[in-house]
Structure 1
Amino acid sequence: MSSPGVREGDLPREEPAESRAPGAAVRAPGADTAGIIAVAAVASGLIALIVALVAGGAVTVRVIPGLPDAGPLTRWGLPTATAVRDVAAALTVGLLVLGAFLLPLRKGAPGAQALGYVRVAAWPALVWAAAAGAVLVFQLSDVSGLPPGQVVGDQLTSYAVSVAQGIGLLAVILLACGTALLSRTAETAAGTLAPLALAVAGLMPPALTGHSASAGSHELAVTGLALHVLAISLWVGGLAAVTFHGLRAKPAAPAVAAERFSRMALWAYIGVGVGGVASAASRLYAVSDLVTTSYGLLILVKAVLFCALGALGWAHRRRTIPRITEAGGRRLFARLAGVEIAVMSATMGIAAALSRTAPPEQPGTVTEAEAVLGFAVPPPVSVQTLLTLWRPDLFFALVVVVLGGAYAAGVVRLLRRGDSWPWGRTLSWAAGLAVLVAMLLSGVATYSMVTFSMHMVQHMVLSMLVPILLVLGAPVTLALRALHPARIRGDRGPREWLAAFINSGFSTTVTHPAVAAPVFVLSPYVLYFTPLFPALMNDHTGHLLMNVHFLLTGFLYYWIIVGVDPGPRNLPYLLRLVLLLVAMGVHAFFGITIMMQSAPLAMEYYGQFDVPWLDAQGADQYAGGGIAWAVGEVPTGLVMLAMVRQWWVDDERAERRRERHSKRGGSDDADMDAYNAYLAELDRRSKGGA
């Protein structure tokens, strides 16, 4: 089965029959079965889309005479283009994942078949870009109430570069085209990651700029929808790609890809469920909305189909994957996968219709502060409110769960095989995650959106305390020790990919002191003394990225100062001490600079809502500057202690090496030994006439 416009030479070829092992001459189900699955998927998706659009009322709205109306073409075209965009994006991601990760490498490089799938991904990527362009036109038509033909031109250009949703769709078009370009030029294992990274990035703009960004609970809506879209793209696209691969490859070939996809699909299924629940919870205001509104009923239908897909996936894992290399195993796999793909297609059709269905109205009156913050202005700060006013930030909750669970699993694996792991590192990692929870999920996170002083507390702790604790936990060392090597020789598993990333040119660059230190100490000046700060605070995604930036820049900086993990370079301790003192001095001056400001910062953001218990914005900002100036003392002391201990341990190790060398007949000074060996080599060469 080939997509329109796909040349036969682009498809990864099946290996010749002569190369098959004896007894493996089982005829593949072939292109006929693939065509039947494709037709069934398209039919189920279209039927589900049409039924959901009619049931949800998206295409049966009553047109009021005298009011602008985009017309039936837009009412039907927008959800249809959205469905095509989502399916094409999923197919693109699935083919790229198949070529990059699901097929084994050969001597560290992707085989011809894997590269073939990566290159074929260019075609659905182009369909993805075209469908996103159609969504852009229909979306502007829907917003303006004009037929699609009347919005093409300057009006469309203005919408694409000035409105958030238009900018998001324009980004999708550019990222999809970039994915198509890079997928055609990929040659190496690392090269296959570039188009995959662009494709994953292309999934995000609609979730970050759509209606979820304006939902009441920003922390649930935006992250929930983004997680839902990413997980379902990996799941649906991966299954379609693996099924296509299984129908045309030789009998033993699909086993590895199917087994690897089965493990990935389990996590994708969990991600779809978590993201879907979070997204629905942010749009529904009562349990009764599930049965009293069209929006809630469509969510219930999606939930039923989701459970059915879970049952089909379990059947795959228990019945078809263990038998995929048997005589009838692939036919059984193809039949079950065909049903699963058809159900997935119907689910995506309902999802496209759901995006055009009006959600329940929020009860009560939404204040200006609630529209900006996503919640009401909290009461005055107290110990009780800091401990009780928690924010349901799904992104950082998932970060904490994943990092904590992965670290605990690594420690348990080491202990089960009889290896030891320092308890101090585990305690440091746990403390870092606990402080992260306190800063981003408790009342501190709530008040950081309201007052500058509490925001500065959050900033300083995220960039200067949490990274130190996480770095001292040595997560990279634990991962390299706990992860198993790849089972297939010449292939790359998680351990090999991690090692390759650590030794990559990117890691070498970002961990260089000339890069990591300036980014750490200068980024606060760029952030707070430019319009960037109010712009990021006004947008949930921007605020989330700002906190991620604090964590990553702090982690990189302290990784080169007190890190115990293996890295591209090992800095002398004297240089580390100099970098630490310079950074702390610049940070202290940053706090003083804020305290000396004559006018409050970021009034474009803070001026949008009133905090009745806050005396003056200027006084609160002065307190925030004082916090930035004084809070650096604790992290500096902690780093000093860690550095002194590491320095002392390193000297002890060097002394033991010198003693062992001395006992073997060498001197106590390794440098002198090297110099004497150099002189001896020169003498030998001169006597030999060299």
Structure 2
Amino acid sequence: MSIAGGRAREGDSRLRDVAVPGALLAMFVGLGLCWVLAAPDGPEALAVPSTVAVGATVLLIGLGASPGLGLEPSVRLMGVAGGLWFVAALVSAWLRTADQAGESPTSVTVGQFADTVGAGAPELVALVAAALVVGVVAAQLTGRIDPPATIFAILAGIGLLALSITGHPSQQAMGPVLVGAHALAAAWWCGTLAAMVVTIRGRNGWASALPIFSARALWAVVVIAATGVIAGLIEVGGVANLLDSGYGRILLAKVIGMAALVALGARHRARWVPAVTRHRAPEATSIRLAVAELVVMAVVLGLAVGLSTTAP
């Protein structure tokens, strides 16, 4: 979308250009906090590629859902995200193989890797879905097909579910349902905001998309909060155990981060959204506020990835 009105200055345009890489860096800040909080029993090594994979899938979900806000996502950006996701899933599967074999990553053979992936590692779903994303983008760029953007969101959602509902969440009867709903709602919320930052051009674009996003985000936050609290308390065994384990401390940090994010979102809903709706907020202001919220979201996402790879 490119609509004139309240154009961003050069510095704010650069901020928009670095928003996605900056958000990925913020995710690693959140992951680093997990290692500090859970030391010496922090997240597993595969949390590093998993952070990249989650970041890529979240962006794909947001870009794929953005036509619902009247936006036209970049096909090339979806291709880059798909390629990054494929590489991250490949590295994650290799590290999982090394962990299961009790060997260093440099000692793992291709045969061992194939056995691990073939046995149903969650990375298998991610590898197939990411490869499909890259393939569809390539076909679209050459003019062979013109699929709806939602196909990318669906593929990314499948990969995200495969990663999020395996491991310790699968050990509880309601774990996969709660964690799956939590992950998809969070991915839509964060990914759609990221898609807005990189896609919208002009003050009128924000005036069209932001009110719709804000209304839908309220329901996403309700799902995230409800499923996150229930799933977390089930895993940790109650509020009294929050400080007794690394998992509990990470969960508490995530809850605090989520509370801060909800407070920031409420502030933006009360001030930013009305100003944008009345066309009184310049594009530069919208970019800065959106990027600030996106960075906080990314830190919480990093905490979530670390939490998923830490034993309760």
TM-score normalized by the length of structure 1: 0.42
Counterpart pick for 2:111 among 123, 147, 154: 154
Shift of 1:328: 4.2
Shift of 1:138: 0.9
- Write the distance in 2 (CA, Å) between the matches of 1:58 and 1:161: 32
The residue aligned with 2:173 is: 218
> Gaps spanning 5+ residues in structure 1: where?
1-11, 61-74, 105-113, 360-690
Q: 1:261 to 1:200 in 2, by over 3 A?
A: same
- Write the distance in 2 (CA, Å) between the matches of 1:271 and 1:88: 22
The alignment of Structure 1 onto Structure 2 pairs a total of residues equal to: 306
CA contact (8 A) 1:183 1:195 kept: no
Q: Pairwise mapping of residues 251-290 of structure 1 onto structure 2 (< 5 A)?
A: 251-290=203-242
- Write the distance in 1 (CA, Å) between the matches of 2:23 and 2:125: 28
Secondary structure at 1:182 match in 2: helix
Shift of 1:97: 0.9
- Write the distance in 2 (CA, Å) between the matches of 1:153 and 1:309: 43
Secondary structure at 2:50 match in 1: helix
* 1:310 and 2:290 aligned: no
Secondary structure at 1:358 match in 2: coil
Counterpart pick for 1:348 among 295, 301, 310: 301
Shift of 1:119: 4.6
Counterpart pick for 1:171 among 111, 120, 125: 125
Q: 1:58 to 1:160 in 2, by over 3 A?
A: farther
Q: 1:229 to 1:128 in 2, by over 3 A?
A: same
CA contact (8 A) 1:58 1:357 kept: no
Q: Pairwise mapping of residues 104-115 of structure 1 onto structure 2 (< 5 A)?
A: 114=72
* 1:250 and 2:232 aligned: no
* 1:52 and 2:34 aligned: yes
- Write the distance in 2 (CA, Å) between the matches of 1:143 and 1:201: 24
The residue aligned with 1:94 is: 62
The residue aligned with 1:125 is: 82
Give per-residue Cα distances to partners, 1:255-305, cap 9 Å, x unaligned: 222122112211221121122123213312233111222211111111111
Shift of 1:43: 4.0
* 1:134 and 2:91 aligned: yes
Higher helix share: 2
- Write the distance in 2 (CA, Å) between the matches of 1:202 and 1:43: 22
Percent sequence identity over aligned pairs: 25
Shift of 1:321: 2.1
The residue aligned with 1:240 is: 194
Give per-residue Cα distances to partners, 1:581-635, cap 9 Å, x unaligned: xxxxxxxxxxxxxxxxxxxxxxxxxxxxxxxxxxxxxxxxxxxxxxxxxxxxxxx
The residue aligned with 2:70 is: 103
Structure 2 counterpart of 1:212, one-letter code: P
Shift of 1:27: 2.5
Q: 1:345 to 1:279 in 2, by over 3 A?
A: same
- Write the distance in 1 (CA, Å) between the matches of 2:267 and 2:310: 33
- Write the distance in 2 (CA, Å) between the matches of 1:124 and 1:43: 15
CA contact (8 A) 1:179 1:196 kept: no
Shift of 1:77: 4.1
The residue aligned with 2:50 is: 82
Q: 1:32 to 1:191 in 2, by over 3 A?
A: closer
* 1:28 and 2:11 aligned: no
Secondary structure at 1:218 match in 2: coil
Secondary structure at 2:7 match in 1: coil
CA contact (8 A) 1:58 1:356 kept: no
Shift of 1:177: 1.7
Give per-residue Cα distances to partners, 1:518-571, cap 9 Å, x unaligned: xxxxxxxxxxxxxxxxxxxxxxxxxxxxxxxxxxxxxxxxxxxxxxxxxxxxxx
Secondary structure at 2:204 match in 1: coil
Shift of 1:207: 2.7
CA contact (8 A) 1:298 1:350 kept: yes
- Write the distance in 1 (CA, Å) between the matches of 2:86 and 2:149: 20
Q: 1:254 to 1:84 in 2, by over 3 A?
A: same
CA contact (8 A) 1:298 1:354 kept: yes
Shift of 1:38: 4.4
* 1:143 and 2:100 aligned: yes
- Write the distance in 2 (CA, Å) between the matches of 1:311 and 1:55: 24
> Gaps spanning 5+ residues in structure 2: where?
none
Shift of 1:189: 8.8
> Looking at both structures, which has the greater relative contact order when contacts are Cα pairs under 8 Å and sequence separation is at least 6?
2
